[in-house]
DNA sequence: TTGTAAGCGTTATCAC
DNA sequence: GTGATAACGCTTACAA
């Protein structure tokens, strides 16, 4: 066990009282001579003094910890947002406790409980697929722990929300496909209970209507999340309805799954069918042909969720905030014949 | 700010002293009647009492915090190891503080300082590329904070080490290529100062020697880490030395970069050249042809590093441990003509 | 300008 | 069996 220098050690060394030494570290105390302050700071540096954060946390009744819960962090979207949030929080002297629910509502609940038990002053959360914890989370907020939701949010939870403008960018993505000549489009959608998936569906339909392209219900397929989900949905669709000429996937993994099946069947991308991803990941540049996708400003998202949470903690109410970020359409080979 | 129930609240409520209440929660105190203990536990449950961990940490001089520093966590290898380590540590009542050095020696140093100042009881670390912190880390250990190294370790740091058996599996990987008929092999290596990269180089050479395949120095190329590094190295090699018939890349990204260039030049994989990755990532299944690679048991790695650290904290010396994990050779299309 | 002392929520050592 | 009290390291109002 490491032995740390305490304020008392410093005080003894310098023949001062602990009170005086403590004040030296806090600029708000002007009632201390510059000379003693310098002497104390100097000695502290030399002896390697660091204040005991637990004593501070105990006294101040603030944990200076923030919990972040995400459904998974193998996907780079979440690791990027986490890194950026952590950076911002650290600047404000907050430590970050990161947990993953692994898309399990139960584990999500356990994680929240762990963090709420005195560990954190606030919580940043992206709900897992099929989360049943709305009420519990509202209780947590009620009890005095502010929460910020991002990415996968629930309207039932009364907190600031940070999302991507899924509707708008689903329109843009679809319109890009249309502009490339697609007329028989499908949308590989996320599980229906994810609101962000719903917005993408609405955006897809809106674009079709705007361009007066008739469409039927079966053109929106509730596929899932993973590469495998994409494969299965694509296979099923091909069997039942033949080949579309444009696909808007609600996520890169879905798009990649679909591409696997198409390539296996010898259907040329982008000549016969154009494919568009969503929430760009590193994989977009690895598949062949390279996948057009919509990138999200993970850096800005991380900073904003931190800011909202810090505001809430400071008593500035942001619970009605609902910020929608814009992204970028990255056109690559999978949607542009000319790009070939 | 959330208001928590304290031991004092419980004591007042039950007309008992704080001392008695405290003892009720710790089974080692037998000098308390079963009836009062039950009464206390009951009341605690009802009122939602949870002990304040900061008061405990302060008193016990144990923080029950562990720091984990990795060079990046967008790569799934690290997120998997972290998740598994966190799971094991949580079982033992330890919280995890996760930080990323983003392959920067400076940020790595700052992260270590942050964690040390937050008085973590121990540190798990995978060094960044080009880390200059050996001495500082040894000082940290010297000061009484145990450290466990994994994946990217340095011999100069005196701590338990957990690695993959890079040498052995580089031999296996290379032999697989040879068994598929390759005779003109190259190795796309990691930066030279990474010991794990060095082991893979030695393994590659060993396999060639064992099978009496002549080779020259230029067949081992210090490429880097990223997809782009792989592209550049491959381009350069093709220009200067023509096309090899087998490539062992020291990482999936390098392999994928090389494949991009080969495909662009119209060189058929696996017919003309076979490509093998290392430390399998999700990308292996996304590229085309699917990439043969060597997978690592991230779960077991996470558990073992946690165990080593907990042992060190408990005073059981493991500083001379150097565990080498074995992996699995996953053969896919990129190395098997028949698989086509 | 500096020192004193109470208190944050626990645990553990003694009395009673 | 239970209660009082000191201690962990720090901050802060108040006294000197």
Q: Which residue of A has its CA nearest to B65?
A: A97
pLDDT tens for A225-249 read: 999 999 999 999 999 999 999 999 9
Helix (H, G, I), strand (E, B) or coil at A164: strand
| B150: nearest Cα among B328, B304, B315 | B304
Confirm whether pTM is higher than 0.85.
Answer: yes
Q: What is the distance in angstroms measured between the alpha-carbon CA of B31 and the sugar C1' of C12?
A: 13
Helix (H, G, I), strand (E, B) or coil at A188: strand
Q: Which residue of B has its CA nearest to A97?
A: B97
Residue A195 vs residues A73, A137, A164, A214, B170: alpha-carbon distances, Å: 20, 17, 11, 25, 46
Q: CATH topology of A65-164+297-325 equal to that of A166-296?
A: yes
Position A27 pLDDT exceeds 70 = yes
B139: which residues sit within 8 A by CB, 6+ positions away? none
SS3 helix, strand, coil % of chain A, rounded to 5? 45, 15, 40
How many CA within 13 A on the CB side of residue B243? 17
Please, is A3 exposed, middle or buried when counting C-beta atoms within 10 Å of its C-beta (0-12, 13-18, 19+)? Answer: exposed
Q: Provide the residue count of chain B.
A: 340
Topology of domain A166-296, CATH:
Rossmann fold (3.40.50)
**What residues of chain B lie within 8 A of the CB of A227, using their CB?**
285-286
Helices (H), chain A: 7-14, 18-24, 34-47, 53-60, 76-91, 105-116, 134-142, 166-179, 195-210, 227-241, 252-264, 298-313
CB B106 within 8 A of CB B118: no
Query: Tokens 């400071």, residue?
Result: A314
pLDDT band at A143 (very low <50, low <70, confident <90, very high): very high
pLDDT tens for B75-132 read: 889 999 999 999 999 999 999 999 999 999 999 999 999 999 999 999 999 999 899 9
Q: What is the distance in angstroms measured between the alpha-carbon CA of B18 and the sugar C1' of D4?
A: 10
Please name every residue paired with A187 in a beta bridge, in sequence order, or none if there are none.
A220, A248
Q: Smallest CA–CA separation between B276 and chain A, in Å?
A: 16
Joined tokens for residue B136:
């500082």
Position B340 pLDDT exceeds 60 = no
Q: How do the domains of chain A map onto residue ranges?
A: 7-51, 65-164+297-325, 166-296
Instruction: Report CB contact under 8 Å: B2, A144.
Output: yes
Task: Give the largest Cα separation in chain B, rounded.
Answer: 87
Instruction: Report CB contact under 8 Å: A118, B50.
Output: yes
pLDDT of residue A340: 38
Instruction: Report CB contact under 8 Å: A288, B288.
Output: yes
Query: Which CATH code is given to the segment(s) B65-164+297-325?
Result: 3.40.50.2300
CB B292 within 8 A of CB B176: yes
Joined tokens for residue B242:
């023509």
Q: Smallest CA–CA separation between B157 and chain A, in Å?
A: 18
A32-36, A151-155, B165-169, B221-225, range with the lowest pLDDT: A32-36
**What residues of chain A lie within 8 A of the CB of B256, using their CB?**
286
Distance CA B17, CA A217 (A): 68
pLDDT of residue A31: 85
CB of residue A59 closer than 7 A to nucleic acid strand C?
yes
A187: which residues sit within 8 A by CB, 6+ positions away? A170, A174, A200, A201, A204, A219, A220, A221, A247, A248, A249, A250
């Amino acid at each position: 066990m490491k032995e740390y220098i305490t304020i008392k050690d410093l005080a003894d060394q310098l023949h001062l009282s602990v009170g005086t030494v403590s004040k030296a570290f806090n600029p708000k105390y002007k009632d201390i001579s510059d000379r003693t302050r310098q002497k104390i700071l100097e000695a502290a540096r030399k002896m390697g003094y660091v204040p005991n954060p637990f004593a501070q946390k105990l006294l101040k009744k603030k944990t200076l910890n923030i919990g972040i819960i995400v459904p998974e962090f193998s996907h780079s979207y979440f690791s990027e947002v986490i890194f950026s949030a952590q950076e911002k929080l650290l600047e404000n002297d907050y430590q970050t406790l990161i947990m993953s629910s692994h898309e399990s509502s139960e584990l999500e609940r356990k994680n929240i409980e762990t963090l709420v038990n005195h560990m954190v002053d606030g919580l940043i959360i992206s709900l897992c697929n099929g989360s049943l914890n709305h009420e519990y989370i509202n209780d947590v907020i009620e009890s005095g722990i502010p929460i910020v939701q991002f990415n996968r949010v629930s309207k039932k939870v009364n907190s600031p929300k940070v999302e991507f403008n899924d509707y708008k960018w689903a329109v843009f993505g679809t319109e890009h496909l249309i502009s490339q000549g697609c007329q028989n489009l499908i949308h590989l959608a996320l599980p229906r209970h994810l609101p962000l998936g719903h917005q993408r569906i609405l955006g897809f339909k809106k674009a079709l209507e705007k361009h007066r392209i008739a469409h039927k219900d079966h053109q929106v397929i509730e596929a899932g999340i993973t590469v495998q989900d994409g494969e299965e949905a694509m296979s099923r669709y091909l069997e039942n309805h033949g080949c579309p000429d444009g696909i808007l996937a609600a996520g890169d993994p879905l798009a990649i799954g679909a591409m696997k099946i198409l390539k296996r069947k010898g259907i040329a991308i982008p000549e016969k069918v154009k494919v568009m991803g969503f929430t760009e990941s590193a994989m977009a540049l690895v598949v062949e042909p390279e996948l057009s996708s919509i990138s999200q400003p993970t850096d800005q998202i991380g900073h904003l969720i931190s800011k909202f949470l810090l505001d809430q903690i400071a008593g500035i109410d942001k619970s009605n905030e609902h910020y929608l970020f814009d992204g970028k359409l990255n056109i690559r080979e999978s949607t542009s014949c000319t790009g070939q």
